[in-house]
Amino acid sequence: QLLGNPYHYRDMGSRTMQAELAERLPPSELYRRTGIQSLPFNTLNQLLRMQDERPWMLENARTLLMTPDLLRFFLTGEKQNEYTIASTSQCLSIETSDWDTTLFEQLGLPSHMLAPVVRPGTPGGTLRTSIQQELGVGPIEAIAIAEHDTASAMIATGGKPGVAFLSLGTWGLLGTLVERPIVSQDAFHANIANEGGVGGTWRFLRNIMGLWLLEQCRIAWRKRDIVFDHAEMVRLTDEADPLRGFFDPDDPRLIDPPDLPEAIGALAGIDPNETDAILRAVTDSLAMKSRYVLESIEHAAGIRFPGLHVLGGGSKNTSLCQAMANALGRPVWAGPAEATAIGNLLLQMRATGEIASIEEGAALVADNRSIQRFDPVDIARWQSAYETYCEQLGLAGAA
């Protein structure tokens, strides 16, 4: 039985806990131990909030499950936490890839509720008898796939280190796969995470805001009877003058404002009623921030990437992909849009013996996926604009 409903990650309550945690444990020490970037919605902050506001829930809790694992529990009755999603909680030791029970003790959190951590591809139990009967099926085995969507998306590319990727949907997760975690001071100050990957790899990445900005603008305009679909949004963006105004997509004032176009207009110096200009500002600002984060990751990892591979639904936004190529001054490869679903399926196929390796599975789908290449144009103009962007936002490292 659930003790309570989950909070939305945009709920502001955990921001207080993020600051309180920093007072109780030096952020640099927490990063060295867990390798995870500091974000208000991390599971650790949620647990501390529960400890502060509803301690009875922790006292009565038997098991802590991440959301995908909770769904699998409903299907099978098995209580496990899959590694790639558990690694994002800021509760796993980067040394052991298991729960940091010492951390729980330091913070006064109960560790008895921690379920076993299992690797992606592990059998996750058999469908409950009651569900089998309801569906008229036999005993189907559930597989604990790479439950973090970005971890699954990386499988679709073959899951090899040395490639820069941006898994782009509501959020953008930009990074690369590495063979060992990087917890240097450069990585800490750049707020780069080391999240668990498949096959002994780590996802060295940073969260940035994604297509949520465009979608929330569309919703706000719909309330004013200004209605258009995604294709129309791309057309309006292409027709608008680029590089008119910028803002930081990760500005805290954009987390959940009452009117997002108004908030963006105020930050970028653009009339919020100019829908095409707002769309263009969002597109250009996302492209600029992507370059900044990519260069931060290159600096921390000591790698120079030839370009950027955009995965997920955002790969279908041709305006944004072209803007990213322009901002980076390097090519962008876009697709497949269904990378997460493909990776999910490939891992199940490996677990059931239908393929021998992830590489074999990635080769199977390589000929069937549509990858579009975007080469940079107006490089000098975008370089100058990027330097202005960094100066306006007070970002170091414009190259």
My answer on whether 119 and 157 are in the same domain is no
- The reply to whether 192 falls in a domain is yes
186 included as an active-site residue: no
- Nearest by Cα to 278 from 221, 355, 344: 221
What pLDDT does residue 395 have? 87
What pLDDT does residue 368 have? 59
pTM of the model: 0.93
My answer on whether 118 and 187 are in the same domain is no
Q: How many domains does the chain have?
A: 2
User: Which domain range does residue 174 map to?
Assistant: 148-399
- Nearest by Cα to 347 from 202, 147, 201: 147
Domain of 356, CATH number, reads 3.30.420.40
At a CB cut-off of 8 Å and minimum separation 6, what does 302 contact? none
Give the helix ranges, DSSP H, for 61-180. 67-76, 83-86, 101-107, 129-135, 149-155
My answer on whether 194 and 337 are in the same domain is yes
- The reply to whether 42 falls in a domain is yes
Residue of 52, 69, 100, 149 marked active site: 149
What pLDDT does residue 398 have? 44
What pLDDT does residue 3 have? 87
Say if residues 17 and 177 touch (Cβ distance below 8 Å): no
- What is the C-alpha separation between 193 and 78, in angstroms, rounded? 29
- What is the C-alpha separation between 194 and 38, in angstroms, rounded? 11
Q: Name the stretches of the chain with pLDDT < 70.
A: 159, 366-369, 397-399
My answer on whether 274 and 392 are in the same domain is yes
